[in-house]
Amino acid sequence: MKRIADSTVRRLSIYLRFLEEFEGRGLATVSSDELARRGGTTSAQVRKDLSFFGSFGKRGLGYSVPELATALREILGLGREWRVVIVGAGKIGAALAQYRGFKQRGFTIVAAYDTNPDKVGGRLDGIEIRDIARLERDVAADHPDIAVLAIPAEGAQAVLDRLVYAGIKAVLNFAPMSLHAPSDVTVKTVNMAMELEGLSFALTNRE
Amino acid sequence: MKRIADSTVRRLSIYLRFLEEFEGRGLATVSSDELARRGGTTSAQVRKDLSFFGSFGKRGLGYSVPELATALREILGLGREWRVVIVGAGKIGAALAQYRGFKQRGFTIVAAYDTNPDKVGGRLDGIEIRDIARLERDVAADHPDIAVLAIPAEGAQAVLDRLVYAGIKAVLNFAPMSLHAPSDVTVKTVNMAMELEGLSFALTNRE
DNA sequence: ACATGTGAACTGCTTCACAGCG
DNA sequence: CGCTGTGAAGCAGTTCACATGT
């Protein structure tokens, strides 16, 4: 398959969110223009994004809401359950563990890991907190699909290396750090510090 | 000033993080190549990024670590304190309130807001939780610089509108929602659901 | 008539490659 | 000589505009 831009995938997520809202309201069809207005983009962009994957609309009419929603779920790989482990049972890990958006979209948290002996054996919103020493063994045995890194910057690269070695192919990183991984491993970093500095820059440099 | 790409600003944040690490280790100079390797980019990119703001290096030698760090802090507007309010005292709000990276970089949380009467009057890591009804009045009186939205998707646009009306110019949004604001208001959205779907897509569509 | 699907044009970010300077 | 700073070239993502199908 042709390489798809990151920005395109992100917009597909947005479109899907609106389509689900429309599904809930029982709307039958939607136009690229309507999706664009909601998502803060253009109708041409919407059509181009979809065109990478096929033709989902009817000329003169628009898109069938349920059909397009189904197609997008298929494209985004949301038809199946993804098994997620959270590494780090601190505040961020805890916030993630109880985040309802996970389950809702087919992401099941199967375990959490921490170094702190006081936390190990406890639970995070019902999820077992295990000793991080077991990380490799568990990953090799359970084959989770995605790991979420919710640990301080210092240890992040080392834990990522261990996860990669154990066979993990997708990582969501909350440590404020650039991480390096082989090209067959996808790493997405969410960095609050960076976003705040972006706001600081915007506030400082406007005419 | 010439318009600076978002990607450039994000990389400046990354460079600054490395420079601070180097400062701590007492290194005197660094080359664009070194910064590039650490940050997962190219030396040409590093030099181009910096070139938008001036000439900070010495040919044949590289950059003075403390000088470049100072310059970047200046560029990013980190020389001053930014006053932040958090809207939403749930799990995400709580995780943010105790996040040490804020204070460390000059972002001071001055207040938190919530609708829940059980929470109002309480504290979040020492920060007072106020009734959200006071939002406009407080913003008008205290002039915080940045608002962090840590509330469910449903109410997010309405609260953003109130913040904009009250005069806020920078918002960090954690609600899984596309938000619309006037062009003089900078909104950065951190959307975990979207990132997870990006990972799902990557796992699904690789050859 | 209306809205999609898509080549072509455009815009802007990244990479190249080398002149310039310490 | 080594590394920066920067025009020029290359490339990728966005926008345009219109032919196409209903």
Report, in angstroms and rounded to the nearest whole number, the Rg of chain B calculated over CA atoms: 20
B99-129 per-position pLDDT tens digit: 888 888 999 999 999 999 999 999 999 999 9
Domain ranges of chain B: 6-75, 82-194
Instruction: Using a CB–CB cutoff of 8 Å, tell me whether B76 touches chain A.
Output: yes
Closest B-chain CA to A150: B95
Q: Which of residues 157-186 of B touch A (CB under 8 A)?
A: 169-172, 176-178, 180, 184, 186
Tell me the sheet residues that pair with B127. B124
- What is the secondary structure of B112-124 as a DSSP string? EEES-TTTTTSEE
Neighbouring CB atoms inside 10 A of B81's CB total 12
**Strand D atom within 7 Å of A64 CB:** no
**pTM of the model as a whole:** 0.95
Instruction: Using a CB–CB cutoff of 8 Å, tell me whether A73 touches chain B.
Output: no
Contact A203 B17 (CB under 8 A): no
3-class SS at A176?
Answer: coil
Nearest protein residue to nucleotide D15 (CA to C1' distance) is A44
Instruction: Using a CB–CB cutoff of 8 Å, tell me whether A196 touches chain B.
Output: yes
A70-81 per-position pLDDT tens digit: 999 999 999 999
End-to-end CA distance of chain A: 44
- What is the secondary structure of A35-65 as a DSSP string? HHHHHTS-HHHHHHHHHTT---EETTTEEEH
Chain B residue numbers with beta carbons less than 8 Å from the beta carbon of A94 are 91, 95
Residue A118 corresponds to which tokens in the numbers above?
């006081």
Per CATH, the number for B6-75 is 1.10.10.10
Distances (CA, A) of A139 to A78, A86, A93, A173, B170: 22, 12, 18, 17, 41
Residue B27: what are its φ and ψ, rounded to 5°?
-75, 140
Q: Check if the beta carbon of residue B115 is closer than 8 Å to that of residue B132.
A: yes
Say if B6-75 and B82-194 have the same CATH topology: no
CA–C1' span, B53 to C18, in Å?
A: 22
Instruction: Assign domain B82-194 to its CATH superfamily.
Output: NAD(P)-binding Rossmann-like Domain (3.40.50.720)
B157-205 per-position pLDDT tens digit: 999 999 999 999 999 999 999 999 999 999 999 999 999 999 999 999 9
